[in-house]
Chains A and B, each alone.
Chain A
């Protein structure tokens, strides 16, 4: 069966030519000289006023990176990247530590307004609490320009600030956790990031605290010929809870820009981290010119017993996506979740998925991945589920479906399922017709034709995934809800 009309139309509206965030902010920036060498690493470190240990850490990573070879195993193709033809640091001028929003360059504020990102803290009027408040850390090229709701979060004991500020003010926490989930030796791009990371968010939730609001970081690449290398570190101490959202956009440019981020999550005993992404980097034009290379390493470490990490992602942007948000299920009874909708159009290439590494006893994980390919794009799900010798009672359920719209695109599924423990139970399915006959019958009996019935049931299912997103992101993701998976392939 071919895809339903509604789905085709929905995918069209998010086609590469319709990219809404492609404008450029005209703002004076301070750029590091092009190229990458030890001096640039020192330059970035000096700009950030970093302690010696961090510079040393960066230099170690840089030296290691020089010995590494670019990975080629993923199902994506692109011309060789000239790492010497990039600016590794770019910051809007006059942003040195604004105390309040009034000191932020109005041009920047207009940019975020245009992007629909609320930077003004809503006032509490006559005791009426506004709903759905979000604290935002806005990262523009290589620096964080503003972080909202800091005071209120401080009252709850939550630390939410740019990572460069955390290095200065909470060095003990940064030093204790930085690089413990994604070591500097991890992979080519993570090592590069360790050497040149510029900014990103740092979150620490103290024991027993439920973060009073959603935390969010909005990444914007603006300058030409720059790479963005942000680093995010989130630590949820025992018994705490945090929901974190991440969004990103970039202007339309003819050149390809590199975005190599690292995200590290640490969940201690009974803690829970919910990490949501709506990735909407500029995907390039319909001929595949320009667009962001999104090479990201995201990993969560369920270090404590009964801890939980949940990744939700809606991937629509980037010329090339190469990311595998993973969970290391170390703590006894810990659990990991991965919900993903990846849509590719035009000439986009997506190679994305997850890893669930079961190390501890009675660990559980769940993967729901939906890939939709249109135009001349390629959409690959690549996932690994593994149980190590001691992972007694590990449990995984994986479901990945993909849908092709048109004859020139490709959808691929490459799961690796490795069990070294007899008591681990793994189930993997990638099916087309998981719609139960009785459900179809029920709907059709009430007057829907088959196509409508299928759309209704499948949309209900996709909604389940989208509902994993916090309210604030749901709006952006709403337009994807109409997507059905009829005629899909596993």
Chain B
């Protein structure tokens, strides 16, 4: 037998390990979890093409070096991304948590360190999933928030998690937000990511959601990170019986983006609606990876992801539906559709099913292609110039994903962003 291959540590890997070793004493709480996560990272390193779940997003070569830890240039709290949306806003300036208003009565908010110090366990929403980006976040997270929503409460206004990079030099941001939603409560979460243009900053953020029985959560993640940024954004959710989660990832920013969602069904009759709208151009790379783990019977999941790739952009969709033994009557439907607008654009789809129960209905579909010539012809025959006809078709293609957004103002604002993106395309 040939000896197994031992990979050399890259500069970024060494820097991450050294950083952990230097900072470890200063990192508050969850010492065991942090150390265990770091050990896993040391064993695996940054994942490259040979790691199945990172086959299309070669983190090992993308993350050549590690940006210095977060410094901030902000002197005041920046304005919200969605003006007029209202709601309660939690701002994470270069990963540092600040609140810009008083906490509403329905919520309990603590800085993450305080919660960890008194024994909050991170990673409960991850279920059986394991991921190296999450491990890095666990080992190195320094700030964030722990939020609790009491049982049977309906929050009228959204909770806004505003992640913003402000430093003038490239930096590394690590933050985690853990949200527990009590049984029967209703909540809307808007998670936004922004940062400076032309700056190769690195962001690794995670939102953990634990939905109590019958809780209903709508989660909208908007990525408008700087055009050189490496954005690693994770959502992990644990669904108790009868709860419902709807989550939309709306992405147009960043240079290399990986948006992950790990969903675990912990109770029966829970439902999930995961959606994604991705617009990429230039040399952008956007990876949407999901793992939906039906561990108990009678779960329903719907996944719909739409990607539009222009120029030389590369879209990735990896979706995995797992149906564990005895998770009977599971109903899972997953679809990924991609439109390639640029001749050099590429799309990689990997919709996976892993099924161990016999009485289930699961399906997936994946399509990839360019705009239909006959549809363009139809519109052009009616007097629309080609760019407008194209824009109309693309808007319709992405628009379907936005239909699930319940807040009208937010929905309009997102569809305006699609139009802006298309207008910029025509101007170019």
**B348 contacts A417, CB within 8 Å?**
yes
Q: How far is the CA of A68 from the CA of B3 in the complex (A)?
A: 9
Q: In whole angstroms, what is the CA distance A73 to B350 when docked? A: 16
Query: Which of A405, A427, A490: most chain B CB closer than 10 A?
Result: A490
Interface presence of A104 (CB below 8 A): no
Q: A425-B368, A430-B363, A490-B353 are in contact. Are A406 and B358 (CB under 8 A)?
A: yes
Inter-chain contacts of B360 with A (CB < 8 A):
489
Q: Is the CB of B349 within 8 A of A410?
A: no
Interface stretch (choices B14-22, B335-343, B374-382): B335-343
Q: Decide yes or no whether A411 CB sits under 8 A from chain B.
A: yes
Interface size class of A (residues with CB under 8 A): 35 or more
Is the beta-carbon distance between B52 and A73 smaller than 8 angstroms?
Answer: yes
Q: A406-B358, A407-B326 are in contact. Are A423 and B370 (CB under 8 A)?
A: yes
Given A69-B2, A489-B355, CB of A428 within 8 Å of CB of B346: no
Does B358 contact A3, Cβ atoms closer than 8 Å? yes
On chain B, the residues within 8 Å of A69 by CB distance are 1-2, 4-5
Residues of A within 8 A of B282 (CB): none
Structural contact, A432 and B2, CB atoms closer than 8 A: no
* Chain B 5-39 interface 0/1 with A at a Cβ cutoff of 8 Å (1 = within): 10000000000000000000000000000000000
**Bitwise interface map of B from 313 to 344 toward A, beta carbon under 8 Å scored 1, else 0:** 00000000001011000000000001011111
CB pair A432–B349 under 8 Å, yes or no, is no
**Are A489 and B361 closer than 8 Å at their CB atoms?**
yes
A69 to B3, CA, bound (A): 8
A427 to B336, CA, bound (A): 10
Q: When A407-B325, A417-B366, A418-B348 are in contact, do A2 and B5 touch as well, CB less than 8 Å?
A: no
Given contacts A2-B358, A426-B367, A427-B367, contact A417 B349 (CB under 8 A): yes
Judging by beta carbons under 8 Å apart, are A431 and B363 in contact?
A: yes
Known: A407-B357, A430-B363. A422 touches B342 (CB 8 A): yes
Q: Please determine whether B2 and A404 come into contact, CB atoms closer than 8 angstroms.
A: no
B272 at the interface (CB under 8 A from A): no
How near does chain A come to B367, taking the closest CB pair, in angstroms?
5
Q: In the complex, A431 Cα to B364 Cα: how many Å? A: 6
Q: Which residues in B have their C-beta under 8 angstroms from that of A489? A: 323, 353, 355, 360-363
Interface string of A403-445 (1 = CB under 8 A from B): 0111111111111111111111111111111000000000000
Within 8 A of B (CB), among A188-228: none
In the complex, which of the residues A67, A406, A426 contacts B366, with contact meaning CB atoms closer than 8 Å? Answer: A426
**Residue A487 lies at the interface, judged by CB distance under 8 Å to chain B:** yes
Cα–Cα distance between A489 and B346 once the two chains are bound (Å): 29
Chain A residues near B351 (CB-CB < 8 A): 413, 415, 428, 430
Q: Interface residues of A: mostly helix, strand, loop or mixed?
A: loop
Q: Across the two chains, which residue of chain B brings its CB closest to A2?
A: B359
Whole-angstrom distance between the Cβ of B340 and the nearest chain A Cβ = 4
Query: What chain A residues lie within 8 Å of B362 (beta carbons)?
Result: 432, 489-490
Shortest C-beta distance, A380 to chain B (Å), equals 9
Docked complex Cα distance between A426 and B348 (Å): 11
- Cα separation A61 to B341 with both chains bound (whole Å): 44
Query: Counting chain A CB atoms within 10 Å of each CB, which of B340, B353, B355, B358 scores highest?
Result: B358
Which of A2, A410, A416, A423 is within 8 Å of B356, CB to CB? Answer: A410
Decide if A68 touches B353 in the complex (CB within 8 Å): no
Q: Contacts A407-B326, A420-B346; is A67 near B2 (CB within 8 Å)?
A: yes
**Bound Cα distance A421, B362 (Å):** 30
Residues on the B chain within 8 Å of A426, using CB? 349, 366-369
Interface string of A301-342 (1 = CB under 8 A from B): 000000000000000000000000000000000000000000
Contacts of B179 in A (CB 8 A): none
B385 close to A (CB within 8 Å) = no
* Known contacts A419-B346, A420-B346, A422-B370; A429/B365 CB under 8 A: yes
Could you tell me the distance in whole angstroms from the C-beta of A273 to the nearest C-beta in chain B?
Answer: 28
**Closest B residue, CB atoms, query A399:** B365
Q: How many angstroms between the C-alpha atoms of A68 and B360 in the bound complex?
A: 41
From A402, A409, A416, A432, contact of B348 by CB (8 A): A416
Q: Which of B350, B352, B355, B365 contacts A410 (CB 8 A)?
A: B355
How many angstroms between the C-alpha atoms of A409 and B354 in the bound complex?
Answer: 11
* Residues of B close to A67: CB separation below 8 A: 2
Q: How far is the CB of A36 from chain B (nearest CB, A)?
A: 12
Contact of A422 among B340, B355, B357, B359 (CB under 8 A): B340
A25 at the interface (CB under 8 A from B): no
Is residue A66 contacting chain B, with contact meaning CB distance below 8 A? yes
> Is the C-beta of B345 less than 8 angstroms from some C-beta in chain A?
yes
Residues of A within 8 A of B358 (CB): 2-3, 404-407, 409, 487
Q: In the complex the two chains form, is B354's CB within 8 Å of A412's CB? A: yes
Q: Say yes or no: is B347 at the interface (Cβ < 8 Å to chain A).
A: yes
Complex CA distance for A415 and B345, rounded to whole angstroms: 20
Instruction: With CB as the reference atom, state the residue of chain B lying closest to A423.
Output: B370
A66 and B2 within 8 A (CB): yes
State whether A415 touches B365 (Cβ < 8 A): no
Distance to closest chain B CB from A251 (angstroms) = 30
Nearest A-chain residue to B309, judged by Cβ: A422
A407 to B345, CA, bound (A): 43
Give chain A nearest CB distance to B333 CB in angstroms: 9
Sorted nearest first, the 3 A-B pairs with minimum C-beta distance are A422-B340, A425-B369, A404-B358
Q: Could you list 10 examples of A-B contacts with CB < 8 Å? A: A2-B359, A402-B355, A405-B358, A407-B358, A416-B348, A417-B349, A421-B343, A428-B364, A489-B353, A490-B364
Residues on B lying within 8 angstroms of A by beta carbon are 1-2, 4-5, 52, 323, 325-326, 338, 340-370
Apart from A404-B357, A407-B326, A426-B368, list 5 A-B contacts with CB within 8 A: A70-B1, A412-B353, A421-B340, A423-B370, A424-B369
